[in-house]
Structure 1
């Protein structure tokens, strides 16, 4: 969702990155759909009332809200046509450098729990493998480029890391 919402000017993305993203998301969508509609013949209506499903949906929606709110806050920092960087403040940015990544990881662990599937778990673990190093890199960049960056702010998980 982020690339469609971002107002990026002057930056180019290699076609290989775009193709990898499309390929990965296509395979992931197919695997999850295959699990839900074919391999797990089918979920019964009682699944909708199970603790795993309810907690998973709550985590997914909470994570999505965190992700969207953090992205909106990042988008609002940069006016269209400018390329300067600012320190994000407010919301979960008070505690972590990358609340959008935290929200996305929460989303996909919620999905894994709600579907109770290996495909969902694989996607959640992929999100961790992809976003944790990026969060560490972003956090380090902020610390190196802003002398007034909050020293007590964590990279990804509030009060932990």
Structure 2
């Protein structure tokens, strides 16, 4: 089974996407994306975190749905299952989690517009590559694919990553009281769940999700978003780990940055 589609436009655009991944990886050497704890000092227009997250993630579901329903296989079982997975993933990532965020009372907007703009490029490309591949180019996504070991392994990895992501977000969210209190610390050390092992389990969960997606779709589109995610989140996880160690003297010494017991 060839991963390249043979469609000149699609394959060329995908190669350009991989070049963009390299740019992201190189840019990470000069600093972290300007949002959250790393967004306060960056110049430029800034959004409130919840709005910034929703704006940044919006192209992924919109582009995917538009491209998907123009595809010749959009009425087939397996592509429709993948559509459902996509909608669930981005409903959580782009809408539910941002709306549930508990923003520290009195905190300034910190989600820089540059993050939104560069995020649009990645999420729009991701939505296009994945939807077009699934709905038009994939020849292997027949009902028999649901019993293929690659689908089974991939969906298990994806589910583990998704659950880790959701739980880790909930742990951080519950560090702050439901009623905003300007007197409580803006940042606290999270404990429990994936935080027993690493400083950024939500990042680990996101990477596991897209690793699973790449496997169960068996596509370079999945590899693209996995590499984009890693290029963004691996350096950020390392920087977050160093930040926690600097800010909290009692930070758990056995906790790694991203991969339990290793990194």
- With normalisation by structure 1, the TM-score equals 0.93
2: distance between equivalents of 1:40 and 1:19?
A: 30
Structure 1 residue runs of 4 or more that deviate by more than 6 Å after TM superposition: none
- 1:91 match: 193
Secondary structure class of the residue paired with 2:127: helix
Candidates 113, 116, 128, aligned match of 2:230: 128
1: distance between equivalents of 2:242 and 2:197?
A: 15
- 2:102 match: 7
**What is the CA distance between 1:122 and its match in structure 2?**
1.0
- 2:151 match: 53
1: distance between equivalents of 2:108 and 2:251?
A: 25
Give the number of the structure whose alpha-carbon radius of gyration is greater: 2
**What is the CA distance between 1:42 and its match in structure 2?**
5.6
**What is the CA distance between 1:70 and its match in structure 2?**
0.4
Q: How many residues align?
A: 161
Secondary structure class of the residue paired with 1:78: coil
- 1:143 match: 245
8 Å contact kept, 1:36–1:42: no
Change (3 A) 1:66 1:141: same
**What is the CA distance between 1:29 and its match in structure 2?**
0.7
**What is the CA distance between 1:58 and its match in structure 2?**
0.8
8 Å contact kept, 1:56–1:109: yes
**What is the CA distance between 1:81 and its match in structure 2?**
4.3
- Where does the alignment leave 5 or more consecutive residues of structure 1 unmatched? none
Change (3 A) 1:87 1:49: same
**What is the CA distance between 1:23 and its match in structure 2?**
3.3
- With normalisation by structure 2, the TM-score equals 0.58
2: distance between equivalents of 1:110 and 1:11?
A: 36
1: distance between equivalents of 2:222 and 2:99?
A: 24
Q: Residues 94-109 of structure 1 correspond to what in structure 2 (within 5 A)?
A: 94-109=196-211
Candidates 109, 118, 136, aligned match of 2:220: 118
8 Å contact kept, 2:122–2:228: no
2: distance between equivalents of 1:157 and 1:149?
A: 17
Secondary structure class of the residue paired with 1:77: coil
- 1:31 match: 129
